[in-house]
Amino acid sequence: MRIRVLGSSAGGGFPQWNCNCPQCDGVRRGTLAAKARTQSSIAISDNSQDWLLVNASPDILQQIRATPELQPARAIRDSGIAAVLLMDAQIDHVTGLLMLRERKTPLPLLATPEVFSDIGSGFPITHILSHYCGTALQALPIDGSTVQVPGLPSLQIQTVSLSSKPPPYSPFRGNPRAGDNIGLLIRNPANGAKAFYAPGLAEVTPALITLMRECAVVLVDGTFWTHDEMQRLGLSPKAALDMGHLPQSGPGGMIEMLSRLPASVRKILIHINNTNPILVEDSPERALLTQHGIEVAHDGMDIAF
């Protein structure tokens, strides 16, 4: 089973188009030991030809160009993307659906009813696509049952309801629902190994620790280093948890949570904001992650389990 990291940054990418913070400025000038990154998305496959796209970022066309496996060229019009699964309704995870409108058949699209409600009304992408390729909607349960993915019969996935927030445009922003944000548990039927993916995560519960302890790899929220990161830089009045993201540092932070997992679990951070110092490869923060056995995802990262 393979997970390909198509994009590893949070919304806006790295460097962010309008940001001149020291990190964005440094990566543009080439004065930082840091790699540019596109917005968060992964693809999953068990045969390297047919893929489940998980989240469709605004950078999807660039990500497809950078990933030859997503274009197997079996016909004059073809794609390795068999279906798309949405973890939430955030703009940086759903806007790329509009770039897939040239399909000749309806796009298989998996999401919870809560996500479908947001992208069907507040941000009506499914309605827009009905005038192009159309969509074949499949509602995701959050009861732990195994989900069958169209076009990928051997892929075994389960959803996990997570504590986070729906997008700012959602009428439920201040009153989150259980299906607004999910994690994804992926199982390799050949060897029983599991991977857990959660790019948006505001709380790591004891039940989630138990789940992650049984995984070969966890790929989780790496948005902010500190709770007040955006406030301290004068970029936003909101703190990390206000935006639905658990910071890495500090008591109860992601480093502390991941340190509770066995050394056998591969621990990777994804969805990294442009302000997060872990993007700088020779930073003290990156060194601290390395000491704790935690990796930082990058575009093109290939994970086998």
DSSP labels for 222-273? ---SSTTHHHHTTS-S--TGGGT---SSSTTSHHHHHTTS-TTSEEEEESB-
Low-confidence ranges of the chain (pLDDT < 50): none
Q: Map out the domains of the chain with their CATH numbers.
A: 2-304 (3.60.15.10)
- pTM reported for the whole predicted model: 0.96
Q: Report whether 236 contacts 196 (CB < 8 A).
A: no
Helix (H, G, I), strand (E, B) or coil at 40: coil
The tokens for 122 are 């507040």
Phi, psi of 110 (to 5 degrees): -110, 130
So what's the pLDDT on residue 242? 87
Kindly report, residue by residue over 153-189, the tens digit of the pLDDT: 999 999 999 987 899 999 999 899 999 999 999 999 9
Q: Please report the DSSP string for 149-170 in residue order.
A: ETTEEEEEEEEEE-S----TTS
Average pLDDT, the chain: 96
Please check whether residue 27 is in contact with residue 281, taking contact to mean a CB–CB distance below 8 angstroms: no
